[in-house]
Amino acid sequence: MKKIAIRIIKLHNVSKRLELLCKKAVFCNENERNKILITASELIDNLITHGEIGVLGVIVTLRIEKHRITCGIYVETHNAFAEFSKRMETCKDNPDAHKPWYDIKEHRWHGLGLRMCENLADRVRYRAGKKLDRIYFEIFR
């Protein structure tokens, strides 16, 4: 199977559904699967914390080509994402543009997830759309 997709409607299902997606991805090796699982979890985590899952839910697709695996994440449009994606486009593939930093007051890290995704995936793209926002990430083989 070269193409698979799942849809996540409920929050508490996210990890289970992503695990299912990876289990179906027999064309990947363990390392690739782990990368996909973490990256997708991370991205969806952010979509949920910064936006909302909506009635549509989140659709995650996986496609394998000879030299890369592409994972797509589709979610109903929300405004914050449009701004975010614009910002990400301007500094694309430049990890130094946004370093993670620790907020002592809030007692938490910022930008950690973004950095994780950039390190795990070979390329991440954020696309805002009229109806659907999309995030693609690729893992080269």
Task: Catalog residues that contact another protein under the rule CB under 8 A.
Answer: 1, 3-7, 9, 11-12, 14-16, 18-19, 30-31, 34-35, 37-38, 41-42, 45, 48-49, 56, 59, 61, 72, 74, 100, 102, 107-109, 112-113, 115-117, 119-120, 131-132
Q: What is the C-alpha separation between 72 and 36, in angstroms, rounded?
A: 11
Min separation Cβ 56 and another protein, Å = 6
Min separation Cβ 134 and another protein, Å = 9
CB 124 within 8 A of CB 72: no
Residues 12-32 as b or e (16 or more Cβ within 10 Å = b):
eebeebbeebbeebeebeeeb
Q: Which is nearer to another protein, 3 or 67 (CB)?
A: 3
Q: Which is nearer to another protein, 83 or 111 (CB)?
A: 111
Concatenating the DSSP letter of every residue in 62-82 gives: EEE-SSEEEEEEEEE--HHHH
Q: Which is nearer to another protein, 90 or 96 (CB)?
A: 96
Q: Which is nearer to another protein, 34 or 79 (CB)?
A: 34
CB 49 within 8 A of CB 80: no
CA atoms within 13 A on the CB side of 8: 27
Min separation Cβ 89 and another protein, Å = 21
